[in-house]
Amino acid sequence: MNKTSAMRVGIVLWTLGIMTMAQNSGAREVVTPSRIQPSALLSIDQNRSTVVDRIVGEWGDRLAASSAGINRDQLREMLLAMPADQLLAASLAGSLDGLRNVLVHGLSAPVTTKPSLQVKALGDPGDDVVYTPVIPCRLVDTRNAFAAVYQGAGAFTGGEIRNYTIQGGNGVCLSQLPPGLNPSAVQLQVFGIPINGGSNGDVEILPQGSTFGSTATLVYLGNVLLTSASTTARINLANNQIGVQVRGGGADLAIDVVGYFKPPAGTVQPAAILWVAKSGGNYTSIQSAINAAAAVASATQPYLVKIAPGTYTEQVTLKDFVVVEGPAST
Amino acid sequence: MTVIQYAAASPTVTVGAVSELRNLTVINTRNAAFPGANAIAQSTNTANGVSTLDSISAIADGATDNVALYVTGGFLNVHASDVEAAPSGTQTGTEVGLWATGATSDVVVRNAKLAASSGTIRQSAHKELGANVRIENTQLKGTTFGTPSCFNNYIGSDFTLAICP
């Protein structure tokens, strides 16, 4: 068997494999992938002009001389427009009729687009979060050794839980975790320092209010002076807090914030608008409208209370996620 | 024009939530001595809270001891707003536009006006130890007390640079 024959046998075997896979997967479909393509067909595509030249060189004149009514240029144009798998079939044609069948099929076969990837732009505030690294800042240091938002308070005893608000304060983390940032998770570097040589245990960090005891963020050993772990910690979104439990023999903790996850910035549209007016609105009292909105408003579904022109004699207390707005001119 | 008004020792509007107040005039006209009239007050924030006042006229114009905006805790942003104590100009007590006190108080005022038009003590801004007050690009009428952080503030009558603190 010479080299060319060996190549042809290889291609035929490989083609049979493709066809077997297609049969196994059900009806034969022509897939037009948007990004990821089978590597074999990708090779055909990458060498499309070479493949087309070979087919035109082998069959062009004979096809033009037949009753098909297709000259070399038209054949080239058809081949260049073919999907990769059809072009592969054309390259394997062993006779003029075989080539004509491929060309006919290529012209009539339905093309089914089955996207192999779910394409979605990053930036959906309902689904996506964006990671923002920050200059590390110390949120917790129970030893009072370094400046921290929560500084001192002493070592955890075994089983103790403490809660920490993810927000800067006391001059620490002010720029990294400014008020109102409200991330959905933080990336933490956690350091466990056992209180003595016999103190072994573990640390678990969860959203504040969670039930502890099923996982561990860091395991510390009494004979190891300091153990460190990196973790992504989710936050209780209602109060912006994490809970930390130390189990076992007790340990000091230091926790650095190195980044945070947060939905991408975007304008959150109000879920509803309530009108306050002396007459014709939803409410005649501003506070009544605020209270009604606050009962259902949330961070992702804020409410807007719009107040019609006029003088309202009452005391008003604002509530979370309810914006109060008068007409554009005060 | 939309006005929320009241005349009591407690403020007309209490802020301190994740909320915003826009395009409103808030007035308190309590006619009594200390505590006098107070238009807007904040004592703390809710858990995630930063309140914002945007395009607000906060006016405290009672008989005496008027404080237009009184903050004793929490974060508050004031933008494009008039914060005025004693605008009628007849009061002789302690008249203050913004009064911030308390270790957790953090107030930022930008592109606004802080004013006290009369008073034996007449202060545009009063910052007590512990509070954090930043005032930028704002018209000041009356002296400042304490050490607020100031940038590019001016005197309304002639647009000269205001001395602050």
* Tens digits of residue pLDDT in B116-148: 999 999 999 999 988 999 999 999 999 999 989
B40/A contact by beta carbon, under 8 A: no
Q: Answer yes or no: is A89 within a domain.
A: yes
% of chain A residues with pLDDT over 70: 78
My answer on whether A210 and A160 are in the same domain is yes
My answer on whether A253 and A277 are in the same domain is no
My answer on whether A151 and A245 are in the same domain is yes
Q: Answer yes or no: is A237 within a domain.
A: yes
Locate the chain B residue with the closest alpha carbon to A179: B50
Q: List pLDDT tens digits, range A166-215.
A: 988 888 998 888 888 888 899 999 999 998 888 899 999 999 999 999 99
My answer on whether A68 and A174 are in the same domain is no
My answer on whether A36 and A98 are in the same domain is yes
Put simply, the answer to whether A240 touches B106 (Cβ < 8 Å) is no
Locate the chain B residue with the closest alpha carbon to A302: B19
Q: List pLDDT tens digits, range A36-89.
A: 445 566 777 778 888 888 888 888 888 888 877 778 888 888 888 777 778 888
Higher pLDDT, A65 or A290: A290
Q: Answer yes or no: is A121 within a domain.
A: no
How many domains does chain A divide into? 3
Region of B102 on the Ramachandran plot (φ > 0 left; ψ -120 to 50 alpha; else beta): left
Q: Which one of B6, B18, B26, B104 makes the best mutation probe of the A interface by having the most chain A beta carbons within 10 Å?
A: B18
pLDDT of residue A35 exceeding 50: no
B93/A contact by beta carbon, under 8 A: no
Mean pLDDT of A227-236: 91
Tell me the chain B residues in contact with residue A278 when contact means C-beta distances shorter than 8 Å: none
pLDDT for position A74: 82
CA distance B142 to B113: 11
Locate the chain A residue with the closest alpha carbon to B23: A326
Q: Answer yes or no: is A29 within a domain.
A: yes
Q: Which one of A149, A240, A315 makes the best mutation probe of the B interface by having the most chain B beta carbons within 10 Å?
A: A315
Q: How far is CA B123 from CA A285, B49, B99, B120, B145, in A?
A: 34, 28, 9, 10, 7
pLDDT of residue A310 exceeding 80: yes
Q: Answer yes or no: is A117 within a domain.
A: no
Q: List pLDDT tens digits, range A11-29.
A: 444 444 444 444 444 434 4
pLDDT of residue A120 exceeding 60: no
Q: List pLDDT tens digits, range A123-177.
A: 555 567 788 889 999 999 999 889 999 999 999 999 999 999 998 888 899 888 8
My answer on whether A253 and A276 are in the same domain is no
On whether the pTM is more than 0.80, the answer is no
**CA nearest to B17, candidates A4, A280, A179, A269:** A179
Q: Are A139 and A149 in contact (CB under 8 A)?
A: yes
Q: List pLDDT tens digits, range A254-264.
A: 999 999 998 77
pLDDT for position B157: 76
Q: Which domain holds residue A282?
A: 272-325
**In angstroms, what separates the C-alpha of B49 from chain A's closest C-alpha?**
6
**CA nearest to A298, candidates A324, A279, A271:** A271
Q: Answer yes or no: is A74 within a domain.
A: yes
My answer on whether A134 and A245 are in the same domain is yes
